[in-house]
A and B are shown apart, each in its own frame.
Chain A
């Protein structure tokens, strides 16, 4: 059997339908965001030329987190939709507790996306930003960070052991890969062989690595 002949069968399964739906939603979100950014740039409200590669990377990650967070948040308000979309193999509606758990996951992703996008958006709007505006945005980020930490901790305690294992393994793998990669880069930078990385570059790389490794570990453990 070829991959092509398996393809339609996959999309006939509940999981396949969800993948197709999410792919379509991703396309719509990506296209709409691209159009909006293009219009804002044309109107002079945003300037992407001054942004570095890590700003673009974190901006894309933020967009993905915001879109995912909003989608999960909206779906979580319907127990029927939660059951079908967030656990496609389950043949029943989500319980009240499950829907509220999904809602919390949506909030965590949304807050992470907002925090990650705020400095990039501010720089794209005004570079360098005035002190008062930068301080106000920073205060907002700290407030969101504290709120997200609280929601994240609550999620940890509400999760079962498989989710906790996936989170722990993702953290461990991300740490070991990044500590090696960043050490090697830092050594090269110290020896004037490599260009300097900013803290924002490192954070953007860490977020990208964490999300990628999280997807791989989740798939390997059967959470995908």
Chain B
């Protein structure tokens, strides 16, 4: 699954650690999400969407 996390984070000038603090996950989790190695759970996806004030589908796109 592709996502725009890195772009959204860069727009706000946040480091991976800053975003991790806001999402209450580890920096490694943010890195894994950005590099597509890990797809978030629904609760985490909703949390990300709320943080960036966007819908889940504008942040995460199915590659199929």
Binding site for B on A (CB under 8 A): 87, 89-92, 98, 160-163, 165, 220-223
Contacts and interface: CB of A to CB of B under 8 A. Distances in A.
Given A222-B31, A223-B32, A165 B38 contact: yes
Interface in B1-51: 15-17, 24-29, 31-32, 35, 37-38, 40-41, 44
Interface residues of B, number: 17
Contacts of A160: 24-26, 29
A222 B28 contact: yes
Interface of A is mostly: loop
Contacts of A165: 38
Given A221-B38, A222-B35, A161 B29 contact: yes
A190 B45 CA distance: 51
A221 B26 CA distance: 13
Contacts of A161: 25, 29, 40-41, 44
Nearest to A159: B26
A162 B28 contact: yes
A91 B18 CA distance: 11
Nearest to A161: B41
Contacts of B15: 91
A89 B29 contact: no
In the complex, the 8 A-B pairs of residues with the closest C-beta atoms, listed nearest first: A222-B32, A222-B37, A162-B29, A160-B25, A90-B27, A160-B26, A221-B38, A161-B41
Contacts of A220: 37
A222 B17 CA distance: 15
B37 A87 contact: no
Contacts of B38: 162, 165, 221-222
Contacts of A90: 16-17, 27
A163 B15 CA distance: 21
Contacts of B31: 89, 222
Given A222-B37, A222-B38, A87 B29 contact: no
A162 B35 contact: no
B17 A221 contact: no
A222 B26 CA distance: 12
A89 B20 CA distance: 13
A142 to B, nearest CB: 33
